[in-house]
Structure formats: C-alpha cells, structure tokens
Chain A
Amino acid sequence: MEARGARSGSLWTQALRRLLRKKIAVACIVVIAVMYLAGIFTIFRSPTPYGFNDQNIRAEAVKQGPSLSHPFGTDRLGRDLLTRVIYGLRTTVIITIAAMLTGSLFLGIGLGLISGYFGRWADSIIMRVGEVFLAFPGLLLVILIAATVKPRVKDWVEGWAPSLESFTGIDIIQLGIVDYVVIFGALAAFSWVGMARLVRGQVLYVKQSQYVEAAIAMGASTPRILVSHVLPNIISPVIVVVSIGMGATAGSEIILSWLGIGIQPPTPSLGVMIFENGNISVLRTDPHLILFPVLTITVLIFAFNLLGDALNDALNPRTR
C-alpha cells in the first residue's frame, strides 16, 4: 500500500488507533480478554474458593439459585456453577486457540499462499481437496471422525502413556488430553478451507502488483517475497475472518460436547453443561443451570463477531 507521509505512525499503528477509538471494539476486547484470562488462570489455580468437582449433595446445597456465595447457583451435585463455567471457559480457550493456530493460521494461510502464488498443479490439488472437504456436511463428518478415530488415538496413547508417566509424573490420560487433541484436530481439518480460499484470492490480486514485480526483478527469494511483500498486504481480511471464526469454533466445540463426543465429564465444558441441562424438565424447574452457561458463550461469540465487524471497519482501506 502507498506511503502515508502526512500522518504519523505505520499503517498498523494507525489501524490500531482507529480501532481503539471505537468504544464497542474496546468493550469487546475487554470482554474477550477477561474470559480468556479467566480460562487461562485456571491452569495455575482456581480463582474461586471451590474446586470444579467439589460436590456437596446435601438436599439444601444442590440446585440452589444464584446467591452471594454462589453467584451462578449450584448444580445437581451441589457444585459451584461459576467455578464450573470458568473451568468450562478453559476448555473453550484451549480448543479455539489450538484450532485457530493450526487450522486457520498454519494450514489455511500456508496452503492459500502456495495455491495462489505458485498456481498450476499445486493450486488445482489444494482447491480440489478443499472442495471435497466443503462437500461434506461438516458437523456430521466431525461426529464420524470423533467417534471412529478417537478410540484409536486413545488406544495408541495408552500404549506409551504409562512410560511417560513413570518418567515425568504426568498422567496425560487423566488430564483428558486425548479428548482435546481429537476435537481440535477435527475442527482444524474443516476450518482451513475457507481461509485458504480467501488467502488465495487475495494473493492472486497482490501477485500482479508492481511492488511484487519489483521484488522479483531485484532477485528477492520466493520465501522473502511471500513473507515480507505478499503477507502484510493480505493480512487485514485474514484478521477479520479469524475474529469471526473464533466465535464459530467456540460454538462448534459446544455442539460436539453437547453430542457427548467432546470433552468428557467431570472435566467441565460449557457444551456438556448445556447438554446435561438442555431438556424441558430442567428448564421448567431450574433454568439457571442452563441460562448461565448459555449466557456466557453467547456473550463471547457476540463479542468476537462485533470485534470482527469493528476490525473490518478499521482495516478496510475503502471504509476509512
């Protein structure tokens, strides 16, 4: 893009300034940051005085409505719902970040760059494979993969996990790492296609520009052209799509856990909470059991979408 001498700062600091001037965007960033930090914080210690599986099954302790000591109430085993929602957010945080990094950013951008820049057979193969992925009813195939591949991965891990445990003292099966890996793998496998198509289209456009031609004429290496000339110029739409995609991935993880093939209890997951309480009788008697997890995830997804919209305004040169 052209140099802007009149205003100070690079293109990116200008975009950031435009973004921070929007109150809605700042609010979204704060909401997302609070939720993600709460989720990450649980890896070190619980921020509330309760553990996520502290049961208290006396009649007066279970299914309490919201109160001062239990802001979100308690569930049918007398566990503090706020604690479980925060631990559920940890699951969401891990899955969304892992799926985004591997699927959208690594596979999506990488394959999109290759497809757009090199063209020819690489382009044909990548795009045809993408079409195969798009032809599947995504959720149904993820269900099938999670159901068929997960037990095999589990068997395989159980083969070498004990020796790892005796060596490091970490029991990775107990931690439920297999569940996480399979779910994020299945989600990543589907999230790359859209990103690769977007990047490819952008690359095709940028490739014809004079600065890329100039870089080639000056003898710059292909990786250098891709990283320092092509990538910075196609990154704005990518950021917007990532923001909206994070919300969508969070939703998909919920659906998978909802179907009982995602994160297994007692590890808390918002999807499992919504699933366990998603029936008429619970809605009739204790709506708080489902409303708080639902509200949490709605706010998160809405924040991601709003932020995506604001980012689009801030980064898109046409709408300045």
Chain B
Amino acid sequence: MGAYIIRRLAWTPILLLIVALITFLLGTYGPGDPVEILQGQYNNPEVVERIREQRGLDRNVFVQYGVYVKNVLQGDLGESFKYRDRTVAELIGKRIWVSAQLGLAASIISLALGIPLGLYTAMKQGTWIDVTTVSITLFFMSLPVFITAPVLLLTFGLWMGILPIQGWGGFFDTRVVMPALVLGIPGVAVMTRLTRASTLDVLSQDYVRTARAKGLGEFLVRRRHILRNSLIPVFTVVGLSLATLVEGSFITEAYFGIPGIGSLAIESFFSRDYPIITALVLIIAAAFVVANLIVDIGYRFLDPRIRY
C-alpha cells in the first residue's frame, strides 16, 4: 500500500510538468502575436521589440518554460496580456471562487437527488417505478448542457417566469438555481444509475443474507451493510465528475452570464491571452490530478479489501 501511494505521489508532479509544457508550447507557437494584439493596430516595431524583451518573449522557448515553472511554484502565474497591470493569479482567483460555488451547488443537486433515487429504485427492482426511472435517467444523461440551458431558460425563465434569467449573486441567491440545475441534471442521472447498479450488486452479496439471517433489523441491514458498501463506487465517480462540471461550466456560464473561470477561458481564448489560458489549463489539470489521487487513496480507506 505504501509503495503504491509513493509511486502515485512521485508521478503526479511529473505529470503536471508535462501538462504545463504542452500547454506552454501550444500557447507560444499559437497564431497571432500576443504583443502585437496588446499594441492594437498602432504597433510600433521598436516598442514591440522592447515589450518582447521585457517579458522575456525573445528567449529560447525552453528557457521561457523554465522561468514560467519557477514562477508558478512561487505563486506567480504571470501577467495578463490584455488586462494590463493585473496578475493572472488576481484575475483567476476571484472567478475560481464563483465557479467553485456553482460547481458545489450542482454537485449537491446531483448527489442529493441521485443517491436516494438510485437506492430507492434498486429496492424496487423490476417494478414499473424502476423501469421508468431507468429510462428517464438515460434520457437526461444524453442531454448535453447546451440543450438543457436554453430549454430551462425558455420554460422557467421566459414562459413561466418563476426564476431569474441571468447574473450571479453568490451561493445563496436565487440566480444560482437555474445554472446549477443545468450543470447538475446529467449528474443526477449518472448518480442514480450508478447507485442503483452498485446497490443491486451489494443486495445479492452473502454478507447481506447473513445479516438478515442473524436477525438484524431491516434498518440496520440497509444502513450498515448495504448503504456503506454500495456507496464506494459512487465515491470514485464524484472525483471524475469534476471533469464534467468544468466542461459544462464553459457553456453554462456563458448562457447565464456568470463571471466564473468558464467565461474567463472563452474570453481569453478570443483575445489570445495565453498566460490566462495556460494558467487555467494548469490549474484545472492540477485539480483533476489531485482529485483522482485523493479518490484512489481514499478508496482504500473506505474499502480495506482493495489491494493494489
């Protein structure tokens, strides 16, 4: 167990360095000279050259990369090309907080609806409740965010007029409801199906039969023997669902006008603001890698039977 964790911990920084290198190279060799964009149409070759020198853009790419990595380790993510005199860390910091709140709200929706629904349908296996729920969740799973966003906007925002359409007011504002629903709906479907499948698996295990045979009350059997074991696979998917949340946030944030990292990414993409894109890719990749590391290691504490 120790060896596995050490191997994973040693590989993680290497992985992040490779990720940073690839993004950095793509950004550097991308089209459109960022310094010329910075200057607008009145660019003066001399000034361009000076800015290039100031920012170290005239040096060898690998030297630039080395400098970048060193700065990142010191918490300096560089300066935005577009918003002058504002550091990338400053720009991203506030927006990550917004996106994190939105992601949290969406996760709460998926877990709070998905897990109970999955447990319930597993208990009712084979009945019409089970069959209907399974087909409905499959339908919701196939709905991409770019479909649910306009449809929800139309029905709840414009036709029924019960929810506000756009903007952001923090976690405890009604404006969070619709984007969180849009992001959370596919998650509800995934969680329901997963919980149902793993519960069905657990229900047929010997230890459940033993627990019932020794006369344990149904509540204790369900809580201690069924619930605990059926939630282990669900736990792993919570880590993976981070990826879906991030991808969904690009479109959701654009539709609902939320100032999070998704809309920042698109904005910087159009203005070729590479320091921001590189930093975003790096931060999100680091979040993925760390989340999966935690899940993989945490898994073994939840289920001591797992050996690598």
A binding-site residues for B, Cβ under 8 Å: 131-132, 134-141, 143-145, 147-149, 151-152, 247, 251, 254-255, 258-259, 274, 278, 280, 283-284, 287, 290, 294, 297-298, 301-302, 304-306, 309
Can you list 6 contacts pairing A with B, beta carbon distance less than 8 Å?
Answer: A132-B18, A144-B269, A148-B30, A148-B31, A254-B146, A298-B143
Report chain A residues within 8 Å CB of B284.
Answer: 137, 140
Residues of A within 8 A of B158 (CB): 280, 283-284
**CB proximity of B270 to chain A, nearest CB, Å:** 8
Interface residues of B in 130-185 (CB under 8 A from A): 138-139, 141-144, 146-147, 149-151, 153-154, 158, 165-166
Q: Decide yes or no whether B88 CB sits under 8 A from chain A.
A: no
> What residues of B have a CB within 8 angstroms of the CB of A251 in the complex?
144, 146
* B5 part of interface (Cβ distance < 8 Å): no
Q: Are B150 and A290 in contact (CB under 8 A)?
A: yes
Contact of A274 with B166 in the complex, beta carbons under 8 Å: no
**Contact at A148–B26, with CB atoms within 8 Å?**
yes
State whether B154 touches A287 (Cβ < 8 A): yes
Contact assessment for B166 and A280 in the assembled complex, using a CB-CB cutoff below 8 Å: yes
Interface size on B, residues (CB 8 A): 45
Please tell me which one of the listed residues B31, B150, B165, B281 contacts residue A294 in the complex, with CB atoms under 8 A apart: B150
Q: Judge whether B63 is part of the interface by a CB distance below 8 angstroms.
A: no
Q: Which residues of A contact B89 (CB under 8 A)?
A: none
The answer to whether A137 touches B146 (Cβ under 8 A) is no
Residues of chain B at the chain A interface (Cβ within 8 Å):
11, 15-16, 18-19, 22-23, 26-27, 29-31, 138-139, 141-144, 146-147, 149-151, 153-154, 158, 165-166, 243, 246-247, 250-251, 255, 265-266, 269, 272, 277, 280-281, 284-285, 288-289
CB-based nearest A residue for B255: A278
The residue from A145, A274, A280, A302 contacting B142, defined by CB atoms under 8 A apart: A302
Residue of A nearest to B25 (CB): A148
Dominant secondary structure of chain A at its interface with chain B: helix
Chain A residue at minimum C-beta to C-beta distance from B242? A137
CB contact under 8 A between A132 and B19, given known A140-B265, A301-B142: yes
Instruction: Tell me whether A138 and B144 are in contact (CB under 8 A).
Output: no
CA distance A228 to B112 in the complex (A): 47
Pair B138/A305 contact, Cβ less than 8 Å: yes
User: Shortest beta-carbon distance, A61 to chain B, in Å?
Assistant: 25
Q: Is the CB of A135 within 8 A of B19?
A: yes
A298 (CB) vs chain B CBs: closest residue: B147
Provide the bound-state CA to CA distance between A222 and B238, in Å.
40
